[in-house]
Structure 1
Amino acid sequence: MGTPHLLLDFGEVISVAQPAADVSALAALAGLPVDAFSRLYWAHRPAYDAGGTARDYWTAIMGAAPGGSLLRRLVELDVASWLHLNQETLRLLDTVHAAGTPVSLLSNAPHDLARELDRHTGLAAFAHRIFSADLALVKPDAGIYSAALATLAAAPADVVFVDDRPVNIAAAEAHGIRGIVFTGTPGCLSEITAALSGPSDTRTVPGPRH
């Protein structure tokens, strides 16, 4: 095996879950109850993550096209809701970077969020930032993992992929990538460190759905 490469999801791995206050604020802007908003938000998210426009996405949620200023506010708040970072993950990444291990990002993200993450100082040291919107592919589509491996120029067995959704890990493992379901627990963080230290029989553990 060659040098290990850490490949990370962003949402609920590097970032924490969207705060309830942010979701409530988005629902209020969209003019919907929180429960209905959340259902529509996720139902239409795959097309947005695959490169769809913000106008189409928010029109699908609201049932009518938002005006320009409202659309801008919705996009800004949506992007901001994903920028609350997980401090435990950041500490792990500091250790990984210090050891000289290459780290890259593979995330489902629409164009607006992807471009914000490209500018984010916390991700500046990443070797590659790979986004679904740029590929018109969303996890767990098999093609996104093939594209990621080509970008990394790494053998599947040399890549340790961390994601909070078991279905995304299963799809990665089907490509021969070593997968770890992220839970944020000390045991999970130790498992990531161990997987990067050399060949191991890495096992997935149960985790929350993103």
Structure 2
Amino acid sequence: MDEECRNCPALCETRTQVVHGYGDVGADFLFVGERPTAKADEVGVPFLTDEDDDSGTSLRRILERLALCDSTSPDDRPALENAYLTNLTRCRDPDRRPTDEEIGNCEPYLNADIRSINPEVLVPVGERALAELGTEYTTTPVDELTLPEAHATTIRGRGFALVPMVEPREQTDDQTQAWLEHFAQLMASDYRQTKGRRER
């Protein structure tokens, strides 16, 4: 992974660092967001949020409740087990979301993450991640892949199951509980049968 990537000149000017994937490289569950958070841009670990941000829940809290993250691990270096975190884009502009071109420029990094981790389940976090992963890995028409409708559901894909999630900070308590219950049921099932084995 290129720590000095210059594929998106505008983002090179606004980022603190390139934020590549992080977590258990043998994970069954790969979580994909849209872009690094402000804290992730500062620290270099996807999905990090400020500890004093009380708005909504965080992905870390969700992972802790599923025993995919050690609750005693440092805030800036979560100890993940069976989970890997990444984004559609690796760099952050603090004032805007990534363009389609920037997502396209980062696609080789995302593809490399998916190929090397070879997960069983992809978790698109947010609308943009669902649209991108849904287009690439399912036969479901993209206009049918919307949130919150697809939140806490399993979409059978080409090689993967997708379990979409509304952005954690935007979830209601009921949405968080629904997603946790759905994902816990998936984890307790023989979810590996949902995936057609691919040659690496």
Q: TM-score, normalised by structure 1?
A: 0.38
Greater helix percent: which structure?
1
Structure ranking higher on relative contact order (CA contacts 8 Å, 6+ apart): 1
Computing the radius of gyration from Cα coordinates, the structure with the larger value is 1
Q: TM-score, normalised by structure 2?
A: 0.39
